[in-house]
Structure 1
Amino acid sequence: MDTSKLIGGRFRVKDRPVSGAMGDVWPAEDTKLGRTVALKFLARRRLRQQGAATEFTDWTVKRFGREGVAMARVSHAHVAQIYDTGEHEGELYIVMEYIQGRSLAGHLKEGPTLTLERTVRWTREICEGLDAAHSREVLHHDIKPDNIMITNEGGVKIVDFGLASFADVTQSHTGVGTALYKAPERWAGSPGSVRSDLYSVGCVLYEMLTGRPPFGNSQDDPMTVGRMHQDNSPAPPSAHRPGVPDQLDLIVRILLAKDPGDRPRSAEAVAVVMGDIQHSLGVEDVTAATGRGHVLDAVDSNAGHSERIRELDRRIFELELRFGPYGQAVIDTRIEHAELTGQSGDTRGAAALYNRLGRDCQDLFGPYDARALNAFEGVARWIARSGAE
């Protein structure tokens, strides 16, 4: 490709490209606006030479264009912005935000495992960027460390939105770079969904916590890795790294659920949880920071109930991620949690749990909703029992 000419009559290539499976990324000067941009070319000729489908039709070209248009509508601090699309000497290109920094993959190759604070913060920012794209009905399909840039200021920028779904048209589903992070349903032929992206986030989070992906490595046969995603369950991150909080083990397990319906309902829900964990790190126990520190009192009061109370607390956390804080399953489990807390001997803790549930139901359903009134009946009942004792 002749780069001595202005690309699109406007962009002057400034340096050597960075090459990838789908094409090359060139830093360039926008001569009109006087800024540096990144030009990402889709190498159609190279893909054909590598065995991509010869029917690289107008449909695929139009799809590429639609992806560019869709991403141009997504404006978020943690998503690399797309400015324009075009064609030069028969090669399609996208004009993107130029990011000064390096990929998460580069950070992971440094050696020592990332700190918990940095891991949690970057996961939150990844999910915030994904949520912005998902709200525009744009899926990524290829979340992995190579597609997550860390700026020189230490923030996340997700790159290559849209190109990954385009890659699925022209390449097999067994590329090594994708295999380590691809959701089980995509190995079974599904085009993927919001929750497929979240599975990939779970793989990336696992690697940030442990220094390794949950299944396989880059030298393994991709189909072998795919079977692992479909059939195997990884050890929790804490098995590889002592000191990982229980909530991070739990959220990894939920993100890596085989059934998409068992994963969190949205990237926003995961971002909120990661924000809570980020706030708690170095301040106080993670469980207490999420508003459930009262559980510890109940646990100490009756050892016979302790494991079940902990189990319910984990279950509430999981259900809130999947269905939202006011799903009926969440409310029912919170009631069970409050009752068991009272039965363990912590009557005041039970009253406090019911009181919080009642206030939450009032806020969402109104002051006279039956769920709120039933919760406040529970408050009165356990307060009365506390006085009698």
Structure 2
Amino acid sequence: MRETTSDADGPMTVGGGRYELIGHLGSGGMGDVLEARDVNLNRRVALKFLGAGRLTGAAPGSERYIRAREMFVREGHTMARVEHTYVATIFDCDIGGADPFLVMEYVDGRPLAEYVGGDPLLLEQTVRWSGQITEGLAAAHREGVVHRDVKPANILITHDSSEVRIIDFGLARFADATESHTDMGTPLYRSPERCRFESGDERSDLYSLGCVMYEMVTGWPPFGDRHSDPAALAKEHQYRSPVRPGQQVPDVPDPLDDLIMSLLAKSPADRPRSARAVTRAVREVERVLESVAARRRQAPGHDTSQADVGITERIREAEKRVRRLLLQFGSAHDETVAARVELAELTGESGDERGAVELYERLGRDCQRRYGPHDRRALDAFEKMTRWTEGGYER
């Protein structure tokens, strides 16, 4: 039972009145996540509660319950050692009440899980977010911290900057040690050694990252789906080789295809040596995108006014501009339409012709819904979509 206090007409608080509860952010097998305000520092935070009694199946006050709380504190201290831009910060750990909780950085964003599970992501998004995830994992691994549950639900994408924040470091190990029967170490993204109930290490995180990248590139995980039997998934992770992403969707650069397959090697020894090595490999994919864009800028009729600005940086700035205009004006306002056209063109120039087609199709349909089936903006978007379907600019 969570211990809360409040004045007669005041807000509910926890942590001896320090944290003023604002709302419910989500729930999982480990417990609830609540938005709160740190009264002392006047900042928004996220409180992640762990129902230790539920995890261990033991009554409060029992020896197992006490051990679980002690381990939770140790894991909180471990997670707090990881300080990096792409990792959600742990500010505090409170064990004073019936349910201990972590005080975490509040991230205004959505989990990557809400972006995947259908169409492939834009190629530049995949490369950008993959690089940020690997940087965050590298920072954790340098501190000896292994995540053990890398999955889209544990990767948040911020609204303002479209950047990664990795959450829940160490909680899978806590669940293992307390004999939890939760979904920690989700079977869709679990490494072969974790499927064998081994503890795993840094390279287990890299396998899970490979599963996540595979889903970003293709639209689905390498094996099964969310309705698959966990035992069958475990066998596939251990014994079956996935189809290469590039055989399923177009425009996947060979270095990205090769990287994902190396991350999905069955033996940890056959995977990249470290998250830092993966970061370098992702940077190589970025250079491939830049090279493709540079060749296309040399074609007749291209705008060369920003030739000295990298394509990935231009795409990121265009994406931010689209996001801001969507909030300000909506999806079919003329300023928004112009920004969306720019983003689609830059996406195609980077070598992601499929992504350009998808962006133009969405734009055309949005304009049709807003202005009618024969709207000039919609027809223009579909015309540009057709051009990229047929190969875009001459090379």
Please report the TM-score for the alignment, with normalisation by the length of structure 2.
0.68
Q: Give how far 1:190 is off.
A: 1.3
Contact 1:101-1:150 at 8 Å conserved across structures = yes
Structure 1 counterpart of 2:151, one-letter code? K
Structure 1: how far apart are the matches of 2:36 and 2:167?
Answer: 17
Percent of aligned pairs with the same residue?
48
Structure 2: how far apart are the matches of 1:231 and 1:252?
Answer: 17
| Residues 254-293 of structure 1 aligned to structure 2 (within 5 Å) | 254-284=262-292
Contact 2:123-2:217 at 8 Å conserved across structures = yes
Q: Give how far 1:55 is off.
A: 6.5
What secondary structure, in the 3-state scheme, does the structure 2 residue paired with 1:94 have? strand
Whether 1:150 and 2:162 are equivalent positions in the alignment is no
Q: Give how far 1:282 is off.
A: 4.5
Residue of 31, 34, 49 corresponding to 1:41: 49
Cross-structure match for 1:365: none
Q: Give how far 1:162 is off.
A: 1.2
Cross-structure match for 1:76: 84
Structure 2 counterpart of 1:108, one-letter code? V
Structure 2: how far apart are the matches of 1:101 and 1:204?
Answer: 18
Structure 2 counterpart of 1:196, one-letter code? S
What secondary structure, in the 3-state scheme, does the structure 2 residue paired with 1:150 have? strand
CA RMSD, Structure 1 to Structure 2 (Å): 2.2
Cross-structure match for 2:70: 62
Q: Give how far 1:87 is off.
A: 2.0
Whether 1:117 and 2:124 are equivalent positions in the alignment is yes
Structure 2 counterpart of 1:262, one-letter code? D
Please report the TM-score for the alignment, with normalisation by the length of structure 1.
0.69
Gaps in structure 1 of 5+ consecutive residues: 287-389
Contact 2:3-2:98 at 8 Å conserved across structures = no
Residue of 131, 134, 144 corresponding to 1:127: 134
Whether 1:200 and 2:223 are equivalent positions in the alignment is no
Q: Give how far 1:3 is off.
A: 3.5
What secondary structure, in the 3-state scheme, does the structure 2 residue paired with 1:95 have? strand
| Residues 348-367 of structure 1 aligned to structure 2 (within 5 Å) | none
Whether 1:230 and 2:241 are equivalent positions in the alignment is no
Contact 1:184-1:230 at 8 Å conserved across structures = yes
Cross-structure match for 2:247: 239
Aligned length: 283
Cross-structure match for 1:28: 36
Q: Give how far 1:47 is off.
A: 2.9
What secondary structure, in the 3-state scheme, does the structure 1 residue paired with 2:210 have? helix
Q: Give how far 1:174 is off.
A: 8.2
Structure 2: how far apart are the matches of 1:254 and 1:220?
Answer: 24
Cross-structure match for 2:26: 18
Structure 2 counterpart of 1:256, one-letter code? L
Contact 1:174-1:222 at 8 Å conserved across structures = no
Structure 2: how far apart are the matches of 1:185 and 1:173?
Answer: 18
Cross-structure match for 1:295: none
212-221 or 273-282: bigger deviation: 273-282
Cross-structure match for 1:139: 146
Whether 1:98 and 2:106 are equivalent positions in the alignment is yes
Q: Give how far 1:36 is off.
A: 0.3
Structure 2: how far apart are the matches of 1:217 and 1:154?
Answer: 26
Q: Give how far 1:61 is off.
A: 2.4
Cross-structure match for 1:178: 186
Structure 1: how far apart are the matches of 2:142 and 2:222?
Answer: 28
Structure 2: how far apart are the matches of 1:103 and 1:17?
Answer: 12
Contact 1:119-1:205 at 8 Å conserved across structures = yes
Structure 1: how far apart are the matches of 2:23 and 2:293?
Answer: 49
Q: Give how far 1:96 is off.
A: 0.2
Structure 1: how far apart are the matches of 2:185 and 2:78?
Answer: 25
Cross-structure match for 2:174: 166
Q: In terms of Rg, which structure is larger? A: 1
Structure 2: how far apart are the matches of 1:266 and 1:98?
Answer: 29
Counterparts in 2 of 1:196 and 1:237: CA distance versus 1, 3 Å: same
Counterparts in 2 of 1:251 and 1:141: CA distance versus 1, 3 Å: same
| Residues 362-377 of structure 1 aligned to structure 2 (within 5 Å) | none
